[in-house]
Chains A and B, each alone.
Chain A
Amino acid sequence: MAQINKMTVIIDYGSGNLRSVAKAFEHARVEDVLVSNDPGALKDASHIVLPGVGAFADCKAGLEAVPGMIEALEEQVINAKKPFLGICVGMQLMATLGREHGETAGFDWIGGEVVEIKPNDATLKIPHIGWNALEFVAGVHPVLQGFEIDVHAYFVHSYHFAAANSENVLASVDYGGKVTAIVGRDNMIGTQFHPEKSQQFGLAFIENFLKWDGQPA
């Protein structure tokens, strides 16, 4: 898929570590990275990134507070099928429902709920903070190509994406049971971990995403 103007739009809705995300994408040597709160900017985007830190409900409210943004996301991600990356809460928002601070509807792009992590070992601490080894559970996904088993990514969260369909879970980590690390469907992919904080692996992941045309395989 040839894009005439290749441009990644990182959505600014008042949540999160936008600067770190933008810097990591710039480092991955794309021609253009635009941080924007303008829903119209998504029309010109080749790739769309939704970051998010904090609580599910707050992030959803923040996004709703930007007039037209959720509609523009639906249009560009679901209808126009542009490659989409959700990071941390930005990934969780793809779920049907979030259960952090009450129940909040997500985009329902990937069936499932965002629920508290409940390790089966009481000595394991919550939040799940630090570097955990990814276990890739699906077949070859274009964005996950070239990664060995046992690569580590940086996590910091207390809730995770319990997908309704296990086919949508592309990677998990072990934390007293399986914790979802990467979800994906069609032209959408989402990471619970922070690629922008995951050193070499994270930057390689971002590069792969930027090369992706949105075809799942």
Chain B
Amino acid sequence: MMLKIRIIPCLDVDKGRVVKGVNFVDLVDAGDPVEQAKVYDAAGADELTFLDITASHEDRETIFDVVAQTAEQCFMPVTVGGGVRTVDDIRKLLLAGADKVSINSAAIANPEFVRDAALKFGSQCIVVAVDAKKMGDHFEIFTHGGRKETGIEAIGWAERMAEYGAGEILLTSMDRDGTKSGFDIPLTRAIADAISIPVIASGGVGTLDHMVEGVTEGHASAVLAASIFHFGTYSIQETKTHMQAAGVPVRLA
């Protein structure tokens, strides 16, 4: 009888189409984000995250459609990240049916944007995405998928974002992302222990034990993964059953 650890699948969306989606044979259109969202909804995913990786400005509008169509058919919490730069972007996403937005580069360019957004829409819908990389004996924030360094120290940054009104931190280890070698536990733990808002751990999941470790050792409140679900390596149900067996409280649908 307590709050459960959230298992969050993430879908990368480019110009309104899923890239790296679950390749279920029974899907009529595997590139349709709404079809994919329905699969995760039915599987009992605790939340869903869309990461909009659309590069060109003119194609950005497609994400609003994706969110609106998802909200018509999926009755689960949805977060949208990628390209969230203005109060107007946030308003449009929330009106389309998103529950939370994830702010990344825009927070670094202008930290006050996070404060404004939290005041306007409430902390509960403002997630700040923190992409961190180990630099010597500490962690620093990177942008542009880990290519651009900012020189900002990660723990202090997360503390500052929490103070500015972020409701959650989506923490991705740029060293681990895509490696399947597990979350960066020291990074996750350092940030989760430093701030009083929830941390979603991301980047590096390859096995179900990694999911468990993010919580038991990394102290994350939620674990986000893309590849292990996309490629059908594990289902949401298998993940939850495994985590429960390891003593992590989960919601078994």
Q: Which residues of A contact B (CB under 8 A)?
A: 16-20, 23-24, 27, 53-55, 58, 123-133, 135, 150, 152, 154-158, 173-175, 194, 196-200, 202-203
Contact = CB atoms under 8 A, between A and B. Distances in A.
A156 B77 CA distance: 10
Nearest first, the 7 A-B pairs at minimum CB distance are: A54-B122, A125-B198, A156-B124, A131-B251, A19-B97, A152-B251, A132-B3
A184 to B, nearest CB: 21
Interface residues of B, number: 37
Contacts of A152: 4, 251
Contacts of A133: 1-2, 4
Contacts of A123: 219
Interface string B104-142: 000000000000000001111100000000000000000
B24 interface: no
Contacts of B122: 53-55, 58
Contacts of B125: 53-54, 156
A174 B2 contact: yes
B177 interface: no
Contacts of B35: none
For chain A, what secondary structure do more than half of its interface residues adopt (helix, strand, loop), or is it mixed? mixed
Helix, strand, loop or mixed for chain B's interface?
loop
B39 interface: no
B234 interface: no
Contacts of A53: 121-122, 124-125
B3 A128 contact: yes
B202 to A, nearest CB: 16
B215 interface: no
Contacts of A16: 94
Interface of B: 1-6, 41, 44, 46, 68, 71-72, 75-77, 94-100, 121-125, 167-168, 196-198, 219, 221-222, 251, 253
A158 B108 CA distance: 25
B252 to A, nearest CB: 9
A115 B46 CA distance: 27
Contact of A125 (B41, B95, B100, B221): B221
A118 B95 CA distance: 31
Contacts of B44: 199
B197 A157 contact: no
A57 B197 CA distance: 22
A19 B198 contact: no
A164 B90 CA distance: 36
Contact of A132 (B4, B96, B99): B4
A20 B93 CA distance: 12
Contacts of B2: 132-133, 174-175
